[in-house]
Amino acid sequence: MEKPLQLCPGSVKIDFASASYAGKADIAATAAALLHALGPPRTPPCYQLPLAKVNSSLPLWPPVICPSTFAQKRPMSLPSPPPAKKLQVQQSSSMLPQDFPKLEVLPVEKPTKLQVRRSPQHVSPALKQDSPKMERPLLPRPATFIDVMLSSQKPSSEMWSETKDVTLTRKTNCSCKYSKCLKLYCECFEKGRYCIGCNCTNCCNNVNHENARQDAINVALERNPAAFMPKVLNSTAHNCESKAAEGDIVGKHTKGCKCKRTECLKKYCECFKASVFCSENCRCTGCKNYKSNADRISQKNTVHAHHVQNPASSGMVGQSVIIFHAAENDSSLSLAASVSDHSINNNTSHVILLQHTFQICHGPCFLIG
């Protein structure tokens, strides 16, 4: 019999196998890799997160890992980091103080704002390190979450597919020309990957430009501490796991989109691209990416005539979740009183979550496709 997992007070357990990370194999793989690197703990690991953060709209990523015994004795502190320069991220951030605690800022000269300006003619000197002579020697330092993500020569999705016999296609390669793959424009950089086999030019998102890359990471983190966190927050409801695995939409984009022309039905839309419905986080107009029609994805551009502003972004969305019975001949709606993914009735056929309002549902049932 396995001993039940012990959680330290004031902490929550993160189940990496849960639907939280369904569809985020990269994250799951990274977490798995890290846990593997840490080795089997004598006592179950404790993923300590201050309770205040649990309700944050941001995803619980990356989690802070500490031995449960330690956390129990010193619930408010973390082990002292090694003597490396700490990342200078706004410590007042709601998410980040410990999230990248050991990320090291190498002594690269900080470029002026003008130099940072991203025109190809005005590239930061720090980013113009094409010559190997310009590279500063790397100091040994402990790996961090972001390091695990960034340093993996193998895409984490491939790591994942090695451990789990699932079919996960690898990334799409980038084709960056002017950003040197050191800005969030670059999908590889944004997802914490080295560029491998990409079509990019002047790429610095590789081992040979580690200093520049670290500098770019720091810049991105300074601008947005959540820059490297997953953009889509999936439902954590265990009841949803099976549905999530089947491809139903159970998450939402943390920042939301601001689409104006595409009705959020093209891959320009980050929500659509991530296969999630637009939510109250979005500020899109003419949104049609809210319908609980399973055909929405497969039909792509086949849309139904709902010319409305994103109901979620129009301020009509309250704290309600509609559980939608999409079975044929069953257009009944049930309304959960409050947001709780755990309230999902798993017996419902084709249960699809929509973040919607009660007012919306009062309409002539345009929710049903």
Binding site for DNA (CB under 7 A): 113-114, 116-120, 172, 174-179, 181, 183-187, 190, 219-220, 223-224, 227, 231, 255, 257-262, 266-270, 273
Minimum CB distance to DNA smaller for 91 or for 175: 175
Cβ contacts of 136 within 8 Å, gap of 6 or more: 106, 107, 108, 211
Cβ(329)–Cβ(310) under 8 Å? no
Closest separation in Å from C-beta 217 to DNA: 10
- Torsion (CA) 227, 12, 39, 34 in degrees, nearest 10: -10
C-alpha span between 99 and 87 (Å, rounded): 10
Toward DNA, which CB reaches closer, 31 or 174?
A: 174
10 Å Cβ neighbour count for 332? Answer: 10
Q: Which is nearer to DNA, 212 or 259 (CB)?
A: 259
What DSSP designation does 354 have? E
300 contact partners, CB below 8 Å, separation of at least 6: 265, 266
The nearer residue to DNA, 145 or 228, going by C-beta atoms, is 228
The encoded tokens of residue 321 equal 């979740």
CB of 255 to DNA, least distance (A): 6
Cβ at position 197, least distance to DNA in Å: 13
CA dihedral 16, 351, 266, 26 (to 10 degrees): 10
Looking at 224-292, list the stretches that DSSP marks H as alpha helix, in order from N- to C-terminal side.
Answer: 238-246, 270-273
243 vs 253, beta carbon nearer DNA: 253
Pick between residue 114 and residue 337 the one whose CB is nearest to DNA. 114
CB of 299 to DNA, least distance (A): 12
Per the CB < 8 A criterion, the answer to whether 282 and 253 are in contact is yes
Q: Please, what is the minimum distance in Å from the beta carbon of residue 161 to DNA?
A: 21
Q: Least Å distance between CB 127 and DNA?
A: 10
User: Is the CB of 68 or the CB of 218 nearer to DNA?
Assistant: 218
The kind and range of the H/E element at 298 are helix 295-299
| Burial class of residue 228 in the structure, from the number of CB atoms within 10 Å of its CB (0-12 exposed, 13-18 middle, 19+ buried) | buried
**Taking the complex as a whole, how short is the minimal distance between the CB of residue 151 and DNA, in angstroms?**
20
d(CA 212, CA 127): 5
Pairing relation of β-strands 232-233 and 252-253?
Answer: antiparallel
| Under 8 Å between Cβ of 90 and 225 | yes
CA-closest candidate to residue 18, choices 318, 248, 240, 222 = 240
Please report how close the Cβ of residue 134 comes to DNA at its closest, in angstroms. Answer: 20
Please state the closest distance from residue 115 (CB atom) to DNA, in A. 9
Looking at the Cβ atoms of 183 and 238, the one nearer to DNA is 183
Nearer to DNA (CB atom), residue 46 or residue 269: 269
Phi/psi at 200 (5° precision): -80, 160
